[in-house]
Amino acid sequence: MTSDRSYRHALSFYEALIQLQSDAFGKLDPKKTMTFIYHIMQSSIGSFVELSDGRQGVIKFIPIENPIFPFIEVEREIVTTATSNLCIKKFKDPNEIGAKEKAELKGVKKS
């Protein structure tokens, strides 16, 4: 799913999880699939993400009832992708983020 193939482009990590959730009801065992997605998303708490509107944030909480819609801290406020028109565009590599930007995302003022 996350690798390029001759017949389709690779999905992002987040798009692959959405596809897995979609396939859980009909193609896969829903309980096992949702448990898998929940644990994968739990491991992403603290990860830096870029949202569909270009803003960056940090994943703070994963709701067990709908793990693909995490709570994300963006510009010192908590947003959820479940009730907004936002989605995770990509997970950011911490090595690509500068120290000042990283501190701002974590809520520490850096001059």
CATH number of the domain at 37, please.
2.30.30
Answer whether residue 7 is part of any domain.
no
Total domains, the chain:
1
Work out the burial of residue 37: count CB atoms within 10 Å of its CB; fewer than 13 is exposed, 13-18 middle, 19 or more buried: buried
Answer whether residue 48 is part of any domain.
yes
* Contact in structure between 62 and 38 (CB atoms under 8 Å): yes
Residue 34: DSSP 8-state: H
Q: What's the pLDDT tens digit per position in 14-72?
A: 888 888 898 888 888 999 999 999 999 999 999 999 999 999 999 999 999 989 999 99
Determine the structural domain holding residue 101 and report its residue range: 13-105
Answer whether residue 1 is part of any domain.
no
Answer whether residue 72 is part of any domain.
yes
**Closest Cα to residue 38, out of 52, 16, 17, 59?**
17
**Closest Cα to residue 63, out of 81, 85, 49, 86?**
81
Answer whether residue 5 is part of any domain.
no
Answer whether residue 111 is part of any domain.
no
